[in-house]
Amino acid sequence: MDYAVRLRHVTKTFGKVVANHDVSMDIRKGEILALLGENGSGKTTLMNMIAGIYYPDAGEILVNGKTAEIRSPKDAYDLGIGMIHQHFKLIDVFTAVENIALGLEKNEKFDLKAIEARVKEICEKYHFELDFQQKVYEMSVSQKQTLEIVKVLYRGADILILDEPTAVLTPQETERLFNVIRNMKADNKSVIIITHKLHEVLSISDRVAILRKGEYVDEIDTAEATEASLTEMMVGRKVELNIGRSEPVNPVRRLSVRNLTVYNLEDVKVLNDVSFDAYGGEILGIAGISGNGQKELLEAVAGLQPAAAGSSIEFFERGSENVAMELVGKSPRKIRNAGVHLAFVPEDRLGMGLVGSMGMTGNMLLKTYGKGHSLFTDVKAPRVMAERVKDELEVVTPSLSTPVSRLSGGNVQKVLVGREISEAPTVLMTAYAVRGLDINTSYTIYNLLDEEKRNGVAVIYVGEDLDVLIDLCDRILVLCGGRVNGIVDARSTTKEEVGMLMTNLRKEGTAREQ
Amino acid sequence: MNSSLIAWILRAIPFGTIIMFGSMGEIITEKSGNLNLGVPGIMYLGGFAGFASSYFYEKLSPNPKGWVCVLLALFCAVAASMLGGLIFSFLTITLRANQNVTGLALTTFGMGVANFFGVFILNGASYTAAPLAYASFSKKMPVLSSSFGTVSEILFSYGFLVYAAIIMAVALHFVLNKSRVGLNLRAVGENPGTADAAGINVTRYKYLATCIGAGISGIGGLYYVLDYNQGIWATTGQIEALGWLAVALVIFTTWKPLNAIWGAYLFGMLYWLYQFLPGVLGIHISSYMTDLVQMVPYVVTIVVLVVVSFRKKKENQPPASLGLSYFREDR
**pLDDT tens digits, B139-194:** 888 877 777 888 888 888 899 999 999 999 999 999 999 899 999 999 999 999 88
A23-26 long-range contacts, CB within 8 A, separation 24+: A23/A59, A23/A211, A23/A214, A23/A215, A23/A216, A24/A59, A24/A216, A25/A209, A25/A216, A25/A219
Evaluate whether the domain defined by A242-341+425-514 bears CATH number 3.30.930.10: no
Q: Is some CB atom of chain B closer than 8 A to the CB atom of A17?
A: no
User: What digits encode the pLDDT tens for the residues B77-121?
Assistant: 999 999 999 999 999 999 999 999 999 999 999 999 998 988 888
Question: A72 to chain B: which residues are within 8 Å by CB?
Answer: 199
Q: What is the dihedral of CA A222, A226, A227, A229, to 10 degrees?
A: -100
According to the model, what pLDDT value does residue B221 have?
95
Does the beta-carbon distance from A92 to B314 stay under 8 Å? yes
pLDDT above 50 (res A241): no
Cα separation, A246 vs A450, whole angstroms: 7
Q: Does B315 touch chain A (CB under 8 A)?
A: yes
Is residue A222 over pLDDT 50? yes
When CB atoms are compared, the residue of B180, B197, B320 closest to A89 is B197
- Which pLDDT value is given to residue A509? 44
Min Cα–Cα distance to chain B from A267, Å? 19
Q: Is A94 on the interface with B (CB under 8 A)?
A: yes
Q: Which residues of A touch B195 (CB under 8 A)?
A: 91, 102-103
CB contact under 8 Å between B180 and A89, yes or no, is: no
Residue A203 has pLDDT above 60, yes or no: yes
Whether residues A103 and B320 touch (CB distance < 8 A) is answered with no
A481: alpha, beta or left? (left if phi > 0; alpha if psi -120 to 50): left
The string of DSSP codes covering A24-62 is: EEEEETT-EEEEE--TTSSHHHHHHHHTTSS--SEEEEE
Of A333-342, A368-377, B176-185, B222-231, the least confident:
A368-377
Q: Which residues of B touch A135 (CB under 8 A)?
A: 314
Cα–Cα distance, A311 to B320 (Å, whole number): 36
Residues of B in contact with A91 (CB under 8 A): 186-187, 190-191, 194-195
CB < 8 Å to B198, chain A: 73, 89, 102-103
CA atoms within 13 A on the CB side of A471: 15
Q: Is the pLDDT higher at B308 or at B16? A: B16
Interface with B, mutate which of A91, A107, A134 (most B CBs under 10 A)? A91
The answer for residues whose C-beta is within 8 angstroms of residue A422's C-beta and 6 or more apart is: A385, A388, A389
Q: What pLDDT, on a 0 to 100 scale, did the predictor assign at position A345?
A: 64
Please say if the pLDDT value at position B64 is more than 80.
Answer: yes
Q: Is A241 exposed, middle or buried, given 0-12, 13-18 or 19+ CB atoms closer than 10 A?
A: middle
- CA–CA dist A153, A150 (Å, integer): 5
Check B186 against A94: CB less than 8 A apart: yes
Closest CA–CA distance from residue A104 to any residue of chain B (Å): 8
pLDDT score of B331: 41
Nearest chain B alpha carbon to A108: B180
Instruction: Provide, as residue numbers in chain B, all residues whose Cβ is less than 8 Å from the Cβ of A110.
Output: 179-180, 183
Tell which wins on pLDDT, B31 or A16: B31
Strand-pairing partners, residue A269, are A263
Q: Which of B184, B194, B199 sits opposite A77 (nearest CB)?
A: B199
Contact B194 A104 (CB under 8 A): no
Cβ neighbours of B193 in A, within 8 Å = 89
Nearest alpha carbon to residue A457 among A432, A431, A425, A433? A425
Give residue-wise pLDDT tens across range A64-123: 988 988 888 888 888 999 999 877 889 989 999 999 988 777 666 678 888 888 899 988
Residue B184 touches chain A, beta carbons under 8 Å: yes
Q: Where in chain A is the domain with CATH 3.40.50.300?
A: 3-235, 242-341+425-514
Residue B254 forms contact with A (CB below 8 Å): no
Whether B197 and chain A come into contact, CB under 8 Å, resolves to yes
Q: For B236-263, give the DSSP string.
A: TTHHHHHHHHHHHHHHHTTT-HHHHHHH
- Give the whole-angstrom CA distance, residue A303 versus residue A294: 14
Q: Do A53 and B191 touch (CB under 8 A)?
A: no
Instruction: Quote the distance between the C-alpha of residue A23 and its chain's center.
Output: 23
CA dihedral A112, A114, A115, A119 (to 10 degrees): 130
- Beta carbons of B183 and A135 less than 8 Å apart: no
- Contacts of residue B314 in chain A, CB cutoff 8 Å? 92-93, 135, 137
Q: Render B152-177 in DSSP notation, one character per residue.
A: HHHHS-S-HHHHHHHHHHHHHHHHHH
Question: For the residues A413-438, what does the mean pLDDT come to?
Answer: 78
Percent of chain A residues past pLDDT 90, beyond the cut: 17
Distance CA B130, CA B52 (A): 9
Per-residue pLDDT, averaged over A203-211, amounts to 91
In angstroms, the separation between the Cα of residue B183 and the nearest Cα of chain A is: 7
- Please report the number of interchain residue pairs, chain A to chain B, with beta-carbon separation below 8 angstroms: 59
Report how far residue B217's alpha carbon sits from residue B24's, in angstroms, rounded to the nearest whole number: 7
Looking at chain B, which residue has its C-alpha nearest residue A75?
Answer: B199
Chain A: closest CA distance from residue B298 (Å):
28
* Distance from C-alpha of B44 to C-alpha of B111, rounded to nearest angstrom: 6
> What residue of A is the nearest CA neighbor of B319?
A93
Nearest residue to B226 (alpha-carbon basis) of B19, B51, B46? B51
Verify whether the Cβ–Cβ distance A103 to B179 is below 8 Å.
no
- pLDDT beyond 70 at A313: yes
Interface mutation vs chain B, best among A45, A77, A93, A107, most B CBs within 10 Å: A93
Q: Are B209 and B34 in contact (CB under 8 A)?
A: yes
Tell me, yes or no, if A114 comes closer than 8 A to chain B by beta carbon: no
DSSP string, B70-116: HHHHHHHHHHHHHHHHHHHHIIIIIS---HHHHHHHHHHHHHHHHHH
Q: How far is B187 from chain A (nearest CA, A)?
A: 7
Chain B touched by A9 (CB under 8 Å): no
Residues from chain B contacting residue A101 (CB–CB below 8 Å): 180, 183
pLDDT at A177 over 80: yes
CB B268 within 8 A of CB B300: no
- Tell me whether strands A312-316 and A324-326 are parallel, antiparallel or unpaired: antiparallel
Digit-coded pLDDT (tens) for B243-284: 999 999 999 899 999 999 999 999 999 888 888 877 777 777
Please say if the pLDDT value at position A44 is more than 70.
Answer: yes
Tell me the chain A residues in contact with residue B190 when contact means C-beta distances shorter than 8 Å.
Answer: 91-94
A445-470, pLDDT tens digit by residue?
A: 888 888 888 888 899 998 877 778 88
The CATH number of A3-235 is: 3.40.50.300
How much is the pLDDT for A38? 67
CA A358, A360, A366, A371: dihedral to nearest 10 degrees? -140
B195 touching A (Cβ < 8 Å): yes
Name the pLDDT band for B237 (thresholds 50, 70, 90). Answer: confident
The residue type of B102 is T
DSSP structure class, residue A95: B
A91·B190 Cβ contact <8 A: yes
Listed in sequence order, the DSSP H helices in A318-438 are: 332-338, 360-368, 380-393, 409-422
Of A111-125, A161-175, B13-27, the range with the highest mean pLDDT is B13-27
**Residue A498: pLDDT band with limits 50, 70, 90:** confident
Q: Are A386 and A361 in contact (CB under 8 A)?
A: yes
Greater model confidence, B162 or A45 = B162
Q: What is the dihedral of CA A124, A89, B198, A210, to 10 degrees?
A: -90
Residue A93 contacts B where some CB pair is shorter than 8 Å? yes
pLDDT in tens, B28-56: 999 999 999 999 999 999 999 999 999 99
- The conformational region for residue A304 under phi > 0 = left, psi -120 to 50 = alpha, else beta, is alpha
User: Chain A closest CA to B197's CA: distance in Å?
Assistant: 6
What contacts A357, CB < 8 A, 6 or more positions away? A403, A405
From B183, B196, B199, residue closest to A98, measured CB to CB: B183
Domains along the sequence of chain B with CATH: 3-320 (1.10.3470)
Task: Tell me the C-alpha to C-alpha distance, in Å, between residue A457 and each of A121, A247, A332.
Answer: 63, 13, 19
Could you tell me if B316 lies within 8 Å of chain A, comparing CB atoms? no
| pLDDT at res. A240 | 42
Q: How far is the alpha carbon of A105 from chain B, nearest alpha carbon, in Å?
A: 9
Q: Which residues of B touch A90 (CB under 8 A)?
A: 191, 194
Q: How many residues does chain A have?
A: 514
pLDDT of residue A60: 92
What residues of chain A lie within 8 A of the CB of B184, using their CB?
Answer: 102-103
First-to-final CA distance of chain B: 63
Mean pLDDT of chain B: 89
Planar angle of CA A37, A42, A48, nearest 5 degrees: 120
The full DSSP string for A418-465 is HHHHHT--SEEEEESTTTT--HHHHHHHHHHHHHHHHTT-EEEEE-S-
pLDDT number for residue A404: 80
A409 confidence band (pLDDT: 50, 70, 90): low
CA distance A14 to B102: 32
User: DSSP code of A483?
Assistant: E
DSSP helix/strand/coil, A21: strand
Are the C-beta atoms of B32 and B209 separated by less than 8 Å? yes
Q: How far is B179 from chain A (nearest CA, A)?
A: 7
Identify which has the larger pLDDT, A382 or B310.
Answer: A382
Give the pLDDT confidence of A267-289 residue by residue, as tens digits.
788 888 999 999 988 999 998 87
Residue in B187, B197, B314 nearest the CB of A73: B197
- Which of A5-9, B122-126, B215-219 has the weakest average pLDDT? B122-126
Residue A261 CB contacts under 8 Å (≥ 6 apart), including other chains: A269, A271, A272, A273, A274, A307, A308, A310, A311
The arithmetic mean of pLDDT across residues B199-216, rounded, is 94
pLDDT tier for residue B205 given thresholds of 50, 70 and 90 = very high
Q: Is the CB of residue B206 less than 8 Å away from at least one CB of chain A?
A: no
Dist. CA A84–CA A152, nearest whole Å: 8
Crossing angle between the packed helical segments A141-154 and A171-186, to the nearest 10 degrees: 10
Which residue out of A102, A116, A139, A161 would a mutagenesis test of the B interface target, given it has the greatest number of B Cβ atoms within 10 Å? A102
Residue whose C-alpha is closest to residue A144's, from A101, A95, A192: A95
Rg of chain B in Å (alpha carbons): 20
